[in-house]
Amino acid sequence: MAAVIVTSTRPLPARRPLGAARSVPPRPALEVLEGGRRAARRYARARSRAHVGRPSAAVYRRRRIGVALAAVTVVAVGYLAVLGVGVLLAGPAAGSPTSAASGPALTHADRTYVVQPGDTLWSIARSLHPSGDVRPVVDALESRAGGAALVPGQRLRVDGLGG
């Protein structure tokens, strides 16, 4: 002989208001099965099969939303990855102050260089003298700058330094 707890499918009770007396939920009903444990296992299998079926519409909706969010995330990450690879392959932007493609910020018939944010004596010397040793150009720029730190907007004479 085996006993099985049978639970009902009645809805959950509403929340009790604050200060109301606490009620004890009723015990589940027991159903006695003849045949011992084997009968109890058969009973449990039969009940579990009865509940197997199609999920509710709410479950389908949640799954679809989850799949849609995952797809949007994959597309966004892929787009950002492609964009990042493109930026890495393109090199510095054309408008950036350290861009080799834009060349030095020269004015007044290529005799004055306007210092940009992030410029160093070495970067200015390299833009004026793209190949070879730039140490003499750096020394000349340092003496023309007065030995002080470079300030964005500062003008340096560069006539005779290009090579």
For residue 114, being part of any structural domain is answered with: yes
In whole angstroms, give the CA distance from residue 162 to residue 131: 11
Tell which wins on pLDDT, 89 or 4.
89
Residue 100 lies in a domain: no
Does the global pTM surpass 0.85? no
Indicate whether 68 belongs to any domain. no
Instruction: Give CA–CA dist 159/84, Å, rounded.
Output: 39
Nearest to 35 by CA among 26, 27, 44, 23: 44
The answer to whether residue 26 is domain-embedded is no
Model confidence band, residue 92 (pLDDT cutoffs 50, 70, 90) = low
Residue 61 has pLDDT above 90, yes or no: yes
The reply to whether 88 falls in a domain is no
> Which is more confident, 39 or 82?
82
Q: CATH number, domain at 133?
A: 3.10.350.10
pLDDT at residue 95 greater than cutoff 50: no
Using 50, 70 and 90 to split pLDDT, how confident is the model at 100? very low
Q: Residue 27 domain-assigned?
A: no
Q: Is residue 78 part of a domain?
A: no
Q: What is the DSSP track for 37-100?
A: HHHHHHHHHHHHHHH-SPPPHHHHHHHHHHHHHHHHHHHHHHHHHHHHHHHHHH-S-TTSTT-T
How many domains, in total, are found in the chain? 1
Give the confidence band of 64 by pLDDT, cuts at 50, 70, 90.
very high
- Please indicate, yes or no, if residue 55 is contained in any of the structural domains: no
What is the residue range of 135's domain? 106-157
pLDDT at 10 over 70: no
Task: Look at the block and give the residue holding tokens 């159903």.
Answer: 31
Q: Average pLDDT for residues 101-127, to the nearest whole number? A: 74
- Report CA dihedral (34, 38, 43, 45) to the nearest 10 degrees: 180
